[in-house]
Copies of this chain bind each other. A is one copy, B any other.
Amino acid sequence: MRPKLEDVAKLANVSKTTVSRVLNNRGYLSRETIERVYSAMKELNYQPNVVARQLYKKQTRIIGLLFPTIANPFFGELSAELEKRLYNEGFKVLIGNSMNDPKKEAHYLNQLLTKQVDGLIVGTHNRGIAEYNYEHLPVVAIDRNMNQDIPVIESDNYNGGVLATTRLIKRGAKKIIHTNGPIELETPTKRRRLAYEDTMKKYGLTPLTIMVDFNIPYSEKKQIFTQMFHDHPDLDAVFASNDIDAALIMQLALEQGKRIPEDLLLVGYDGTQVIRNILPGLTTIVQPIEDIAKTAVEVLKQRMNNEETSLEYVLPVTLREGITG
């Protein structure tokens, strides 16, 4: 006779509810309990049919995360934080790196439409999901405008731009260049550029933004920044739209014999843990990664429960003072 859940509970000396919680990975369970339940399952050769149960319940308890690449520290740390929170709520996390692969967005949407995932959290740089106007999908976007129906979680990009630019101006910089992504990309990070341009004009300075696509290889970025130094020998400050680019600009400046901060002031953006550890001297705008993750999970759960949500959540940023700017 095929063993039943009751048999596992009896042998493990726990309640049926506990066995069920172990199988579904829900609620607090001690390691000893989990091991007892597994040992009993093994001894009885019990095979729970989880996939069949999912079919019945019409939910998978899986959330898909889709970002350009988790190899970038910002998305790596954000994904780790999202996974931790979702796991604690009983969800598993499917992850996709969509950089330079726009088809992947369509495939992830497919997962959602075919009920292989319960919801999506997306922060991709491509078009894709945005083009499909399904209504009230369980999707939230991070730092990306998808379409009129999908809530966006973002940090206060405008204030980040004001903080960075004002800082550089107050420290005496006159010729300040800003680096930012392609202007046609529909993302709230554009507001960093807007804030930079507004602030420059407010102080009677001329804004100049250089376009650097996030997705291009490192070697191409190096060329762009080398050209920037060549074209603007009087450059005295850079507000970079991410810390990786800021670090590259710092290296190139040092190679050219420029001193930081004496000859060039520099402010980055993102302020991930790894950058703060490796380059503690970098002045940067810190995005609230934990708050972004917390809010994204809360809003996604509301969407999955068909509750009303706001369409935009703006979270505060802070300036971290280093020695570069």
Contacts and interface: CB of A to CB of B under 8 A. Distances in A.
Interface in A233-260: 244, 247-248, 251
A95 B71 contact: no
Contacts of A96: 83, 87, 92-93
Contacts of A116: 50-51, 92
A83 B64 CA distance: 13
B247 A277 contact: yes
B73 A29 contact: no
A283 interface: no
Interface stretch (A102-110, A178-186, A223-231): A102-110
A73 B70 contact: no
A278 interface: yes
A60 interface: yes
Given A34-B106, A113-B41, A116-B51, A97 B83 contact: yes
A147 interface: no
A194 to B, nearest CB: 28
B25 A107 contact: yes
Contacts of A110: 22-23, 25, 38
Nearest to A78: B71
A135 to B, nearest CB: 11
Contacts of A76: 70-73, 76
A280 interface: yes
A217 to B, nearest CB: 10
A314 interface: no
A111 B92 CA distance: 10
A71 B114 contact: no
Interface string A39-63: 0011000011111101100001010
A319 B5 CA distance: 54
The 6 closest A-B pairs by CB, nearest first: A76-B76, A71-B80, A247-B278, A50-B114, A71-B77, A95-B95
Interface of A: 22-23, 25, 29, 31, 34-35, 38, 41-42, 47-52, 54-55, 60, 62, 69-73, 76-77, 79-81, 83-84, 87, 92-97, 102-104, 106-107, 109-111, 113-116, 131-132, 134, 218, 244, 247-248, 251, 273-275, 277-280
13 contacts: A31-B102, A31-B103, A41-B113, A51-B51, A71-B274, A72-B274, A73-B274, A92-B116, A94-B94, A95-B95, A218-B273, A275-B278, A278-B278
